[in-house]
Amino acid sequence: MIRFILARLVKAAVILLAIMIFNFLLIHAAPGDPAAVMAGEAGATDEKFIADLRARFGLDQPFAVQLWTYVKATVQLDLGYSYRQSMPVIDLIWQRLPATILLTMTAFVIALVLGVIAGVLAASKQGTWWDTVISTLALLFYATPLFWVALMASLLFSVVLGWLPGYGYQTIGANYTGIDRVLDIGKHLILPATTLGLFFMAVYMRMTRASMLEMSRLDFVKTARAKGLSNGVIQRRHVLRNALLPVITLAGLQAGQIVGGAVLTETVFAWPGIGRLLFEAINQRDYSVLLGVFFVSAAMVLLFNLITDILYVLVDPRIRLG
Amino acid sequence: MSLLEIENLAIALPAGADRPFAVENVTFSLHKGEILCIVGESGSGKSMSANAVMGLLPEGVTPAEGRIMFHGRDILHLSEENRRDIRGKSISMIFQEPLSALNPLMRVGAQICEVFEAHNLLTPQERMRRAVELLTEVGLPEPEKAVRAYPFQLSGGQRQRVMIAMALALEPEILIADEPTTALDVTTQAQILSLIEDLRRKHEMAVIFITHDFGVVADIADRVIVMQTGEIVEQGPAEDVLLRPTHPYTRSLIAAIPGMKERPPEAEGKAGSQESPVILSVNGLNKTFSTGGGLFKQARVVHAVNDLTFDLHLGETIGIVGESGSGKSTAGRCIIRLIDPDCGTVRLSDVELTKLSGQSLRMARSKAQMIFQDPFSSLNPRARIGRILTEGPIAHGVPRVQAMERARELLSLVGLDPSAVDRFPHEFSGGQRQRIGIARALALDPDVIIADEAVSALDVSIQAQVLDLLADLKARLNLSMLFVTHDLRVAAQICDRIMVMRRGEVVEMGPTAQVLGQPNHEYTRSLLAAIPGRHHEQAMRLAVASE
């Protein structure tokens, strides 16, 4: 097991390195000389000034040296400096990361738990109106654009009904501490996390339903019935456990999309996370922040994948011991 | 006094099935301590009858008529709760495929304990102790360790033992065994059969044994029921049904069993004599698989084919025989380079296959064609038969019209109507599809045909027809063939020489009559001894012939 996790970590590190290099190539592929752009923004077109800038930022060094410098800095979590926000990029990210992790993890759990429950329900009532209603609802959430659902939810629950706060991470100026602060953040979390979660729920619901129905037809379910087990035990212990395997695989693949979906949700709900940071950085052409966010979100996707891989191994002995 | 009485049972199939009833007018009884074999081909309704007794009919399939009396109660009309009480406790069941019949994510001990749990018996500790005792009784090595194993860690035979342990847990009065040995190797099958026999005697249990194999019937049955398309055509004591069958269907089934009989003398010598030129020459062929290796883990190495050397002569058929894992299929696939061998040479009509690649390999490969085991998955379900038969020739430059003409000829050659070119695979039965598979292999005019378990998935009467077809084609077209099979009886029918493989190595090779008649190697002898019903075979055949 530890070996397996180590092997996966090594693989993740290699992928991360590849992403770094790809990121670096991306800067190089961008049109224009960064030094010239910087000089232009500073209002100077003097050749010597540009050459000075080049030397200062190491842009006169050979490609390999530049790459090495970049990788070394990134590994040390030195992601550069944002001149727009007058802060090191890593500090900006550290400020925003907890909010995003809280949002995506909550949404992930909501999607997975609701999706599996809905899938089990739909499968056990296959062909009845339950099945139809659940499947239709799930499809509806999936087919509706995320930002629209976010806007409507905000409008209904925050503006019209006034039940929940419609934007932000906490009540500004309230300065809650302890349990009050947790409750306050929790209240702010409900709308964005549910909106994001419901969108992804549909996929898990469909997968669970299909997988449950497929497993029900297999021989070992017949064996379980032949033992005289009750239907509830058969569904829980034999069908569901096996049916969850493909759902977990899918969850790992979907993790990246959840991080992507967070950009939209965070923007609509003014959630101060990485997604909004990315949105702002794009608007302001703040390349160093952009690259930093790319790197960190790639790392997050890898982390999600690692978690689902470990989950899979815990559930499936064939991989653990095979 | 009979233990179980089935009276006039009819089981209705859902609308749209090929017939209204899966079984009709089924009446039989089961006595304490007897083994009752229900024999029939696929679709005969033998499994449906057993599932009805267990109350495990598939969805949409319902008993329409009749009674199943057990201890004075009609179990067809019991509530689900009462039925559950009987299942596993009074009547238990084992299935054909022991891997899929066990939950892959649960330890086998826990799966055995579930039987006690389902009937609220014993404490968890006692259940586990019983599980170990049961595994000991069914002869699993190291039962204390085995209870902690997952199904995938056990062999096929061991898994079936686990299933039997599970079925025996509550000492049921009736054990229903639905083709329990069909998926097993012949030596394992022999062990499982004798285990069931022993347990029956020890526990005085009645067994309903469902099988398609008359050899198995001859070995274990007290009484026999023969079913055909949902109806019982004959039943009686095993001796009577096997030696003095009255119904023509029973007789045809018994006659269709491939026998270990001597091959007709005209088949010997004429074709496949070893004086004819060598068409395929295999020398020092090796293939090693390594699995499970990784960054931190030692790879597991399997020598699937170890130093294989032989010559196949023009018009000759060599049987490659062995149990699962013997490397027989890998050998066939290496020769045609569906898998690349590690080393060794394969010369097919003077072309060295192992060194070729790309275009030249594709050209050379058309000279060796395969027939596969599963007639269902080996034909593209979305392609018409015409396309299936012409794809190869067209790829090799034959004009479409000409290829289509040839496809029609081939279809009549394998005994199908030429109009089949316009139809899809699902419109044909298993036997017909296998004929199409044969036609496809012939379409490229190959020098050598490799048949990989080509008749193993077929019912015995269909198997006999396809074997006849192959023998006929072989004689007419002077085909050279490698015939990969696990079934020595099938090999005896069609092969000129037989090569016995075990764990990647050839243990014995020689003319069919010699290998089967006077085997040199211990392993060949054990394979022959394990064939079910051998001692009855001669008697059965004589009886049928004398009618």
| Nearest of B512, B456, B449 to residue B482 by alpha carbon | B449
Q: What is the pLDDT of residues B457-484, one digit of tens each?
A: 788 888 888 888 888 888 888 889 999 9
Q: How many CB pairs under 8 A join A and B?
A: 88
Instruction: Answer yes or no: is pLDDT of B87 > 50.
Output: yes
Cα–Cα distance between B270 and A199 in angstroms, integer? 73
**Two tokens, residue B46:** 């033998």
Reported for A267-271, long-range contacts at CB under 8 A and 24+ positions apart, including other chains, are A267/A147, A268/A147, A268/A150, A268/A151, A268/A154, A268/A192, A269/A150, A269/A154, A269/A166, A269/A167, A269/A168, A269/A191, A269/A192, A269/A195, A270/A167, A270/A168, A271/A99, A271/A100, A271/A103, A271/A167, A271/A168, A271/A169, A271/A192
Using an 8 Å Cβ cutoff, are B30 and B4 in contact? yes
Instruction: Answer yes or no: is pLDDT of B270 > 50.
Output: no
For the residues B274-281, what does the mean pLDDT come to? 84
B423 in contact with A, Cβ within 8 Å: no
| Nearest of A75, A93, A26 to residue A281 by alpha carbon | A93
Q: What is the pLDDT of residues B52-67, one digit of tens each?
A: 999 888 888 889 899 9
B88 in contact with A, Cβ within 8 Å: yes
B103 vs A contacts (CB less than 8 Å): 220, 223-224, 237-238, 241-242
Share of chain A above pLDDT 70, in %: 96
Using an 8 Å Cβ cutoff, are B56 and A228 in contact? no
Rg for chain A (alpha carbons), in Å?
A: 24
Residues 6 or more apart from B400 whose CB is under 8 A from it?
Answer: B390, B394
Q: What is the pLDDT of residue B174?
A: 93
Cα–Cα distance between B275 and B269 in angstroms, integer? 10
Instruction: Answer yes or no: is pLDDT of B303 > 80.
Output: yes
Q: What is the pLDDT of residue B547?
A: 57
Q: How confident is the model at residue A292 (pLDDT cuts 50, 70, 90)?
A: confident
**Two tokens, residue A164:** 């929940």
Q: What is the DSSP secondary structure assignment for residue B425, as one 8-state letter?
A: G
Q: What Å distances lie between residue B467 and A168, B262, B314, B470, CA to CA?
A: 77, 16, 19, 5
Q: What is the pLDDT of residue A221?
A: 92
SS3 state of residue B212: coil
For the residues B219-239, what does the mean pLDDT come to? 91
A3 vs B contacts (CB less than 8 Å): 296-297
**CA closest to B153 among chain A residues:** A322
Smallest Cα distance from A320 to chain B, Å:
11
User: What ipTM goes with this model?
Assistant: 0.77
Q: What is the pLDDT of residue A61?
A: 79
Instruction: Answer yes or no: is pLDDT of B376 > 60.
Output: yes
B401 in contact with A, Cβ within 8 Å: no
A228 to B85: CB separation less than 8 angstroms, yes or no: yes
Lowest mean pLDDT across A280-294, B80-94, B125-139, B263-277: B263-277
HSE toward the beta carbon, residue A140, CA cutoff 13 A: 7
Share of chain B above pLDDT 70, in %: 93
- Strand-pair category, B368-371 with B448-452: parallel
Of the candidates A3, A228, A315, the beta carbon closest to that of B87 is on A228
Cα–Cα distance between B237 and B224 in angstroms, integer? 6
**Phi then psi for A163, rounded to 5 degrees?**
-80, -40
Q: What is the pLDDT of residue A70?
A: 82
Smallest Cα distance from B12 to chain A, Å:
20
Q: How far is CA B399 from the centre of its chain?
A: 40
Of the candidates B93, B100, B152, the beta carbon closest to that of A218 is on B100
Q: Going edge to edge, which strands form the sheet with B35-39?
A: B91-94, B174-178, B206-211, B35-39, B223-228, B231-237
Using an 8 Å Cβ cutoff, are B424 and B374 in contact? no
Amino acid found at B54: M
pTM (2 d.p.):
0.79
Helices (H), B257-357: 267-270, 328-335
Smallest Cα distance from B117 to chain A, Å:
8
Q: How far is CA B49 from the centre of its chain?
A: 21
Q: What Å distances lie between residue B361 and B353, B372, B482, CA to CA?
A: 7, 21, 20
Q: How confident is the model at residue B291 (pLDDT cuts 50, 70, 90)?
A: low
A317 to B150: CB separation less than 8 angstroms, yes or no: yes
- Higher-pLDDT residue of A60 and B427 is B427
Using an 8 Å Cβ cutoff, are A198 and A111 in contact? yes
Whether the CA torsion B395, B399, B402, B408 is positive or negative: it is positive
Highest mean pLDDT among A185-194, A206-215, A274-283: A206-215
A321 to B104: CB separation less than 8 angstroms, yes or no: no
Residue with tokens 């050839």, as numbered in its chain: B506
| Nearest of B512, B518, B461, B508 to residue B483 by alpha carbon | B512
What pairs with residue A87 in β-bridges? A82
Using an 8 Å Cβ cutoff, are B369 and B280 in contact? no
**Phi then psi for B325, rounded to 5 degrees?**
85, 5
Q: What is the pLDDT of residues A43-95, one digit of tens each?
A: 766 778 778 877 777 777 788 888 888 888 888 888 888 777 788 888 888 88
Q: What is the pLDDT of residue B538?
A: 66
Q: What is the DSSP secondary structure assignment for residue A128, as one 8-state letter?
A: S
Q: What is the DSSP secondary structure assignment for residue B57, as one 8-state letter?
A: P
Q: What is the pLDDT of residues A122-142, one digit of tens each?
A: 998 888 888 899 888 888 888
B166 to A316: CB separation less than 8 angstroms, yes or no: no
Cα–Cα distance between B190 and B197 in angstroms, integer? 11
Q: Give the DSSP H or E segment for A2.
A: helix A2-29
A322 to B296: CB separation less than 8 angstroms, yes or no: no
SS3 state of residue B104: coil
B100 to A219: CB separation less than 8 angstroms, yes or no: yes
Whether the CA torsion A161, A167, A170, A172 is positive or negative: it is negative
In chain B, which among 148-177 make CB contacts under 8 A with chain A?
Answer: 150, 152-153, 163, 166-167
In order, the DSSP letters of A68-92 are HHHHHHHHTT---EETTTTEEHHHH
Using an 8 Å Cβ cutoff, are B442 and B413 in contact? yes
Q: How confident is the model at residue B269 (pLDDT cuts 50, 70, 90)?
A: very low
**CA closest to B293 among chain A residues:** A322
A5 vs B contacts (CB less than 8 Å): none
The C-alpha angle with vertex A110 and arms to A241 and A174, in degrees rounded to 5, equals 150
Highest mean pLDDT among A56-60, A104-108, A167-171: A104-108
| Nearest of B307, B268, B267 to residue B288 by alpha carbon | B307
**Two tokens, residue A157:** 């629950």
Cα–Cα distance between B475 and B268 in angstroms, integer? 11
User: What are the helix and strand counts (H, E) for chain B?
Assistant: 21, 20
Q: What is the pLDDT of residue B271?
A: 45
Cα–Cα distance between A192 and A164 in angstroms, integer? 11
Lowest mean pLDDT across B37-51, B119-133, B522-536: B522-536
Q: What is the pLDDT of residue B260?
A: 63
For the residues A24-49, what does the mean pLDDT come to? 72
